[in-house]
Chain A
Amino acid sequence: MDFRWDLIVEYAPFFAKGTLLTIGLSIAGIVIGTFLGLLIGLGKLMRNKLLALPFNWYINFFRGTPLMVQILLIHFAVVPPFLGTTNAIVAAIVALSLNSAAYIAEIFRAGIQSIDRGQMEAARSLGMTHVQAMKFVILPQAFKRMIPPLGNEFIVLIKDSSLAALIAAPELMYWGRAMQGQYYRAWEPYLTAAVIYLVLTLSLNFLLTRLERRMATE
């Protein structure tokens, strides 16, 4: 089999641009998702079951339906009324953020519930409000335990962002498909994309392992 390195070189600038957008989409997804996920996770933990219900269903919906369906819905149905037109990058960011928020909400909930209830009781017995106890005692401890699963979610996001190619957001996978369409070749575009994804996820994994080790010795 002849492997056309020259085609890869020709497409390199596009892969570079695509990689940047993949990184951008994933970072936007994890940052917005973390923020929303905290709110939704706290919402689900509310003692009033009626108030917790919408948060529960948010999580059910986004974890129980395919991301592909969510991306298409958001791109073609949700975003246009707001922007007056479709916008693939906006739709991709919204879909990835809302989707990861559901998973991150569960990470937060599990992290908060993993903290011994004696911690909350000690804080409250000192006169702290529920919010103060959360802020100064529970969440700082929970965050530490959330770092490994949050890192995992980040890796999942990098891979899942490839679905944005479906709505023509020009990220890595989009350019892979474009290259296939132009040259009718499969190995070169998709192996290149695979290697770049692998470099991204493995580097992130490496950073996370180091971070975890540093926190463990702290």
Chain B
Amino acid sequence: MIKVENLKKSFGLNEVLKDINVTVKPQEVVVVIGPSGSGKSTFLRCINMLESITGGHVYIEGIDLTDKKTDINKVRTEVGMVFQQFNLFPHKKVIENVMLAPMKVRKISAEEARAKGLALLRKVGLEEKAEAYPDSLSGGQKQRVAIARALAMEPNIMLFDEPTSALDPEMVGEVLEVMKQLAKEGMTMVVVTHEMGFAKEVGDRVLFMDGGLIVEENIPSELFDHPKEARTKAFLSKVL
């Protein structure tokens, strides 16, 4: 479970997140939409402290990330993240990408990590690419490996930051498929995406962000079909 209270984030004088309050329940899938620069990525990155938090609190499973005593590395093992640019480790084979963190952080044996890694690659449909290097993969394949790599730490929560935005259109589907599967298995997910079909099919809730605030939130069908706020309407009319 994620609980965000009065979250504020500034870069210098630029206040990017103004006052964010959100609770994500276990097994819930929350989709975040909003114009470029509205603070969606920053919001996501505050949830696993890739950005330092300027004000307010973020709780993961009840643990306050802003508490100095919190072991942030431990919390991060519970929160997987998938990036727009994949960020696979190019010097490591696909299977090594997936095995690295479980071996070094969870200290499990190489055999166990490999077996688990292969199972995860099978799950994302890429077992036969285990010995390939990331450079030889298509964008869609890279992103599926990145998902498998995050899942290898057995997180309770997965964060996705525009996971299909860097992909050629024909590869978007294969990545969304994997994410839908995860949602069906009950993974708690926060997904920044403009894939309305995905949001409607698996999203429990949609947050519309603009100017560092959550302007409107609702169940997907309501937010997309009957937006209440003028800013939401303006944004949706441009995107849809």
Chain A residues in the interface with B (C-beta under 8 A): 116, 118-119, 121-129, 132, 136-137, 140-141, 144
Contact = CB atoms under 8 A, between A and B. Distances in A.
B76 to A, nearest CB: 4
A122 B85 CA distance: 10
B105 A132 contact: yes
B76 A136 contact: no
A140 B93 CA distance: 13
Contacts of B87: 116, 118-119, 121-122
Interface residues of B, number: 24
Contacts, number: 60
Contacts of B105: 126-128, 132
B153 A124 contact: no
B50 A124 contact: yes
A127 B76 CA distance: 5
DSSP majority for the B interface? Answer: mixed
Interface string B87-115: 11111000000001100110000000000
Contacts of B68: none
Contact of A128 (B50, B88, B104): B104
B101 A128 contact: yes
Contacts of A121: 50, 83, 87
Given A122-B81, A126-B101, A127-B153, 19 more contacts: A116-B87, A119-B89, A121-B87, A122-B89, A122-B146, A123-B89, A125-B79, A126-B76, A126-B77, A126-B80, A127-B73, A127-B76, A128-B73, A128-B105, A129-B73, A132-B105, A136-B100, A137-B100, A140-B91
A171 to B, nearest CB: 38
Nearest to B100: A136
A129 B101 CA distance: 10
A132 B91 CA distance: 15
Contacts of A144: 91
29 contacts: A116-B87, A119-B87, A121-B50, A121-B83, A122-B81, A122-B83, A122-B146, A123-B101, A124-B50, A124-B73, A125-B76, A125-B81, A126-B76, A126-B77, A126-B80, A126-B149, A126-B150, A126-B153, A127-B76, A127-B77, A127-B101, A128-B101, A132-B105, A136-B100, A136-B104, A137-B100, A141-B89, A141-B91, A144-B91
Contacts of A126: 76-77, 80, 100-101, 105, 149-150, 153
Contacts of B88: 122
Contacts of B101: 123, 126-128
